[in-house]
Amino acid sequence: MGDDSTGKSEAESLATHDLENFEFLVDLVIWYKLLHSVNIVSKILQAEDVDIDVAIKHIKGLMLNFEEYREHGFEKAVNEAKQMANELGIEASFKEKRIIRRKKQFDETITNEVTQSADESFRVNYFLFLIDQGYSSLQSRFEQFKKYEETFRFLFSLEKLKCVDDDNLLRSCENLEQCLKHNDNSDIDGHELFMELTLLKHSLPTEAKRAIDVLNHLKDVDNCYPNAYIAYRILLTIPVTVATVERSFSKLKLIKNYLRSTMSQERLNGLAMLSIEKKIMEYLDYSCLIDIFASKTTRRVIFK
C-alpha cells in the first residue's frame, strides 16, 4: 500500500468495524449454507445426461430446503457464528443501533412504535429478506418446469406410466395433444397415443426405468409406436438449462480472440467443434485420421 494514508485508514476501518464484528460472521454462515445447497443442485442440473424429471425433483428439494432454513436456520446460524466468534476473540452479540427519533408536528397523531431488538431486527430485515428473495427467484426462474411437469408427468418413468389408470392416462394424452397443437395441426394424436401406451407399458423390458430407456426401446421395435416415439422425443429434447450453450460461447471467446481477426468461418466451426467435443476427441485414432486425409488428398496424376 506504500505511503497511501487514506487507503491504509480505509483498510483498518474495514477490518475493525466491518469484518471484526458478529454480524459479519452470521452473514458468512448464512451465505455459506445457502450457496452450498445451490451449488450442489446447479452441478446436477448442468450434467449432460440429466432429465427434466430429475431436474424438477432437485429444484423442489432446494425450494423445500429454503423453506426449512427460513423457519429454523437463523438460530442455528447464530449459534455457529458464536462458536466462531469465541475462537476469534470477537464479542458474540449484535450491536444495538441508535434509534433516530423525528420530532413530531403538532397535528400528527401519537403512535406507539414497536422497537425491535438488534437480533430480531437482523433476522427480519436481513435473514428473512434474503431467504424470501432467493426463494422467489427460484420460483420465478423455474416456473416453466411446472407446465412441463403437468404436461409430461405420465411419461417421466415406467413406474408412473404403470400407476396411471386409463381415465387419467387418456386425459393426459389428450392434454399433450392440445399442448403440441399449432394451427389445428398436432404432432400426435391423443387417442392413438393412449392406445399405444396401454400396450407399451405391459411390453416394456424391466430394465427400462427412464424415459431415455423407453425411447431406445421404441427405436428397437422399428417405430411401431409412432405417437409414443414422437412424444418421448419431444420430452427428451426439452433443455433443462442453457449451461452447455453458455460453455460453447465461452469456448468461442478463447478460440477466436482479437489476434485472430482473419479466421474463416469454416476453420472457426472446425476448431469450435474440436474444443467443445473434447471428450470424443480423446478416443480418436489420429494415425487413422491422417491416413484417411492422405488418401483423399493424394494426387490422381502420376508424374514420370
Q: Determine the distance from the C-alpha atom of residue 3 to the mean position of all C-alpha atoms in its chain, rounded to a whole number.
A: 47
229 & 282 share domain = no
Q: Determine the distance from the C-alpha atom of residue 102 to the mean position of all C-alpha atoms in its chain, rounded to a whole number.
A: 47
Which of 249 and 232 is assigned the larger pLDDT? 232
Alpha helices in the chain (DSSP H): 5-13, 22-45, 52-88, 118-122, 129-141, 143-152, 158-163, 166-179, 190-203, 211-220, 226-236, 243-255, 265-276, 278-281, 286-296
Does 135 reside within a domain? yes
Quote the cell numbers at residue 295. Answer: 488418401
16 & 124 share domain = yes
Does 207 reside within a domain? yes
The single-letter code of the amino acid at 241 is T
Q: Which of 72, 107, 141 is where one domain is finished?
A: 141
| Residue 18 φ then ψ, to 5° | -100, -40
DSSP bridge pairs for 210:
157
- At residue 1, the pLDDT reads 47
Which of 36-50, 164-178, 185-199, 253-267 shows the lowest per-residue confidence on average (mean pLDDT)? 253-267
- At residue 18, the pLDDT reads 64
62 & 85 share domain = yes
Helix axes 52-88, 22-45, angle to 10 degrees: 160
130 & 180 share domain = no
188 & 227 share domain = yes
- Distance, CA of 61 to CA of 37 (rounded, Å): 10
Does 148 reside within a domain? no
17 & 135 share domain = yes
What sign does the CA torsion over 283, 287, 290, 295 have?
negative
Q: Which of 213, 236, 259 is where one domain is finished?
A: 236
- Distance, CA of 251 to CA of 91 (rounded, Å): 48
36 & 131 share domain = yes
Q: Does the pLDDT of residue 234 top 80, yes or no?
A: yes
- At residue 36, the pLDDT reads 93
- Give tens-digit pLDDT for 79-131: 999 998 888 888 888 777 666 666 666 666 655 555 678 888 888 888 999 99
Find out whether 201 and 161 touch, Cβ atoms under 8 Å. Answer: yes
130 & 78 share domain = yes
The single-letter code of the amino acid at 96 is E
227 & 255 share domain = no
- At residue 261, the pLDDT reads 72
- At residue 182, the pLDDT reads 84
Q: Which of 214, 236, 258 is where one domain is finished?
A: 236
Instruction: Return left, alpha or beta for 225; rule: phi > 0 is left, psi -120 to 50 is alpha, else beta.
Output: beta
Averaged pLDDT of the chain: 81
221-241 CB burial, b ≥16 within 10 A, e <16:
eeeebebbbbbbebbbeeebe
- Give tens-digit pLDDT for 31-88: 999 999 999 998 888 877 777 778 888 888 999 999 999 999 999 999 999 998 888 8
Does 133 reside within a domain? yes
Label residue 57 exposed, middle or buried (CB < 10 Å: 0-12, 13-18, 19+): middle
201 & 257 share domain = no
For residue 116, the SS3 value is: coil
Q: Does the pLDDT of residue 25 top 60, yes or no?
A: yes
170 & 59 share domain = no
- At residue 39, the pLDDT reads 92
- At residue 245, the pLDDT reads 67
Does 112 reside within a domain? no
Does 103 reside within a domain? no
128 & 34 share domain = yes
Using CA atoms of 162, 166, 169, 170 in order, give the dihedral in degrees to the nearest 10: 150
Q: Which domain holds residue 252?
A: 243-296
Does 50 reside within a domain? yes
Domains held by the chain: number: 3
Q: Tell me if the pTM is above 0.95.
A: no
Q: Does the pLDDT of residue 30 top 50, yes or no?
A: yes
Does 7 reside within a domain? no
